[in-house]
Structure 1
Amino acid sequence: MSNYVKISTIGNREFNVEEQLATEEMVDRMMKHLQQKLSQVLPDQPDLIVLPEFCDIPSNVFLSPAKTHEYCRVRGDKIQRLFSEMASENGCYIAYPTLRLQEDRTWRNSIVVLDRNGEPIGEYAKNHLTLGEIEDYGVVCGTEAPIIACDFGWVACAICFDLNFDRLRLQYVQSKPDLILFSSLYHGGIMQPYWAYSCRSHFVGAIGGGLPSAVLSPVGEVLASSTSYFDFATTSVNLDCAVVHLDYNMERLRQLKSKYGSKVAIADPGHLGSVLISCETDECTIEDIIQEFQIERLDDYLERVSAGRRAE
């Protein structure tokens, strides 16, 4: 049964404020700026909006740890309340990343996910901080990697430097989220499709600094991307899907396509040996199709090969 989710990713270019302004005025200007940023994608009625790392801190303020801390203390939860109102008014989820002062008085670089009613339903604190964050900004590493339940599926998060560490990626390989939300000031290059493929998850990158923000499929294909002209992108993805290897499945896939035609999609990125099959009908689910044609998922195939080695 198709499970389409419309996703908007928003990047950003530098947004600066006059440094002589009172901090309260800086926050007000940032709120107006963010309202304008979201207004670019709201007409498409997305189910989920993902914003880049430190999305609500002016670029020139962030150059100074002391000014950043002062700004964040004055800002408090004002911008989260703004996003909660916008999420509720538009019936969408919003992934809101920023620097937060926690109840235990520690600073965390985190993403809060707001649901369609504007309520916070989960928070991920960056597990792998840069030395600058730790030594200059006094940020504390997160230790948890929660999987957040949304009405369309399960969501995991990663922030910037996290993408370099297998420890976190392997946790998501095991937990198998439907979506990975990546908010960052660093693009990650080849790591983005690698994470998507290794976790068998759709991947949403919201990248600051004018770098491309994109939505990737579980076989690493870019489905939609911001451009040099527009720093946002919106696309729909079907979460009722599975990654399968071509070994031993070629004839089964031909039979599948012959029977179901356009009711099933097979996306081949090339050079990978694996494809993404998606159920495009409400008559059945991807699991029904896999069972009907005895199609072997990629992970099951790799385990069968590994078992063969262990038996030697």
Structure 2
Amino acid sequence: MKISLIQMNSQPDRDHNLRQALRLMQDAVDRDDPKLIILPEHFDWSGGTPREKFDAADAVPGGRAYDILQDFAASHRVWLHAGSLLERVEGSDRIRNTTVIFDADGIEVARYRKIHLFDIVAPDGKAYRESETVERGTDLLIYEINGLRIGCAICYDLRFSRLFDRLTQAGVDVIILPAAFTLQTGKDHWEVLCRARAIEFQVYFVACGQWGAYPAAGGETRHTYGNSLVCDPWGQVIARASDTVGVITSYLDIDRVRAVRNLIPMETHRLDLANMAVRSVFP
């Protein structure tokens, strides 16, 4: 199955972001004719103040970004894994960080809401407090296209292997992770984590990121790492974006998944360790 990843540089400007997404998706369709297009985290809105993010959150379904992507999927007969957008929650003082999947008829297949929220202080001292504005998700999600079972995750989820272990138990062949990884953490952790997840769970790992600078609260400028990539189930990077906005295209082959799993049959060796005792011995 042919897929295209859209690497963007989203800003606190929905019109700008939607124009950029539509242009790049059209480029992917015209050049590569993929079966599935993947957008990054926060494709519709990135940066700004917490108040601006809250005000920018839109209806799902029925919001502008939602409607534009739904129309694109239907008119171009292509599946869309719509990165993540800011979803308004009626009656709540928080929003959701939400992936929406559309099939080639423009019908919503499912939604995944980010589970692990990014609350850290980066090495340069910049504080990220996603939980101040975002309500965490409560469910995992798998959908199927062309015989491939696809598991969903978003950005910071990447660091939590138990999520992927649970998806593997449900039989996924591919993980798709839209992201807006920071430049500082990305340069040290992005590739190694993506490749590790592909290797340990014997799946294609598809990670589609934001790239470049954007303005945040208090006049601060922040930078995302980009380097959108596709890892095969052996952990090899088979496609990678350069340091700019653009499109990369790759193939997912279920026979490759089967071959790796037959070579090293981890699933038959995987043990349930939840009830296994831990012996602690301290001198």
TM-score (norm 2): 0.76
Give the direction of change, closer, same or farther, for the CA distance of 1:152–1:45 in structure 2 (3 Å limit): farther
Q: 2:26 aligns with which of 21, 39, 48?
A: 39
Q: Check whether the contact 2:158–2:193 (CA below 8 A) recurs between aligned residues.
A: yes
The equivalent residue for 1:68 is 53
Match of 1:234, as an amino acid? T
SS in structure 1 of the partner of residue 211 of structure 2 = coil
Structure-2 separation of matches of 1:104 and 1:191 = 37
The residue type equivalent to 1:133 in the other structure is: E
* 8 Å Cα contact 1:213-1:231 kept in structure 2: no
SS of the residue corresponding to residue 43 of structure 2 reads coil
- Per-residue Cα deviation, 1:126-175 (whole angstroms, up to 9, x for no partner): 1111221112x2x1111211211224421111111111112212112212
Change (3 A) 1:111 1:32: same
Give the distance between the partners of 1:154 and 1:11, measured in 2 at CA: 23
2: distance between equivalents of 1:85 and 1:173? 32
Amino acid at match of 1:36: R
Map of 2:115 onto structure 1: 127
Deviation at 1:189, TM superposition (A): 2.7
The residue number in structure 2 matching 1:264 is none
What does 1:206-245 align with in structure 2 at a 5 Å threshold? Answer: 206-210=208-212, 211-228=226-243, 231-242=246-257
Task: Summarize deviations over 1:70-89 as a string: whole Å, max 9, x none.
Answer: 12248961111111111111
Question: 1-side partners of 2:244 and 2:42: how far apart?
Answer: 22
Match of 2:265 among 280, 295, 298: 298
Question: What's the RMSD between the two structures over aligned residues?
Answer: 2.5
- Match for 1:219: what amino acid? W
- Note the residue ranges of structure 1 that are not aligned, 5 or more in a row: 18-26, 245-275, 278-294, 307-312
Counterpart code for 2:7: G
The 1:158/1:9 distance shift into structure 2, 3 A limit, reads: same
| Greater gyration radius | 1
CA contact (8 A) 2:10 2:43 kept: no
CA 1:207–1:296 in structure 2 vs 1: closer, same or farther (change >3 Å)? closer
Identity of aligned residues (%): 24
Report if the CA contact (8 A) 2:96-2:114 is conserved.
Answer: yes
Amino acid at match of 1:167: R
TM-score, scaled to structure 1: 0.69
Alpha carbons 2:74, 2:104 under 8 Å: kept: yes
> What secondary structure does 1:220 align onto?
coil
Counterpart position of 2:122: none
Partners of 1:213 and 1:32 in 2: CA distance: 20
Partner of 2:178: 183
Structure 2 unaligned residues grouped into runs of 5+: 120-128, 213-225, 274-283
Instruction: Report how many aligned residue pairs link the two structures.
Output: 239
1:266 is aligned to none
Which residue of structure 1 aligns with residue 126 of structure 2?
A: none
Task: Note the alpha carbon deviations across 1:234-255, whole angstroms, 9 max, x for none.
Answer: 12221233456xxxxxxxxxxx
Equivalent residue, structure 1, for 2:4: 8
Quick check: 2:115–2:137 contact (8 Å CA) kept in 1?
Answer: yes
Write out per-residue CA displacement over residues 55-97 of structure 1, whole angstroms, 9 at most, x where no aligned residue. 111x4xx220111111224896111111111111121111111
